[in-house]
Amino acid sequence: MTLFPSKQHRFEQTLLKSAVAGDSKASKEVIRLLSSPAYSLAWKMLGNKEDAEDVVQEAFIRLWKSADSFAGKSGLFTYFYAIVSNLCLDRIKSINKGFFEEFDEVEHYPMQEIDWNHAGGIEPESIKRAMNSLSAKQRMAMLLWAYQDLTAEQIGDVLGTSKNSVDQLLYRAKLKLRAELEKGESHAIER
């Protein structure tokens, strides 16, 4: 995060203020820029299309209400991701289920968005189980890093933590994923 807003961040700040002030073109542009990646993140976190849609809609409402607090120090995308991430965590807590508990049906998890050609021949169910074994913050960091291509610094902005903490989260998550996947391979061989 920089001390002074960049030219891009100032543009985003102006765009958001115009949208909130009622400029329909600005509103459409903000929604166009943020909807798809936010929905993708919410769907991956919640495993349910309807919940993801609800969270993204609520996130836009909160973005509009909190537009004055967006100072442009980080990007609008990062600011909005933080709102979406927090709403997803709140949603998961409110329905009293463990973070990313295993889903019984594959269609509840957006598996078609994952490029299985780069998964090294690992079965989708094994990857899903391994991802489900991660802590809330580890899973969030991995999703933001692997599927949204955010940097550790951007992930830190979303999660409200330092780049070093994100680096540690990702390191521990990768170790745990590797261990879970290796454990899954040994079980598959025993069968």
Q: Are 47 and 100 in contact (CB under 8 A)?
A: yes
- Enclosing domain of residue 107: 103-191
How many domains are contained in the chain? 2
35 and 79 within one domain: yes
Q: How far apart are CA 12 and CA 170, in angstroms?
A: 29
Within 8 A by CB and 6+ apart from 150, the residues are 78, 81, 144, 158
Tens digits of residue pLDDT in 70-109: 876 778 888 898 899 889 878 877 754 443 444 333 334 4
Tens digits of residue pLDDT in 6-35: 788 788 888 888 998 999 999 999 999 999
Q: Which tokens belong to 189? A: 């061989």
Tens digits of residue pLDDT in 161-179: 899 999 999 999 999 988 9
Average pLDDT, the chain: 78
CATH of the domain at 177: 1.10.10.10
Q: How far apart are CA 45 and CA 146, in angstroms?
A: 13
Nearest-5° Cα angle at 163, 161 to 54: 50
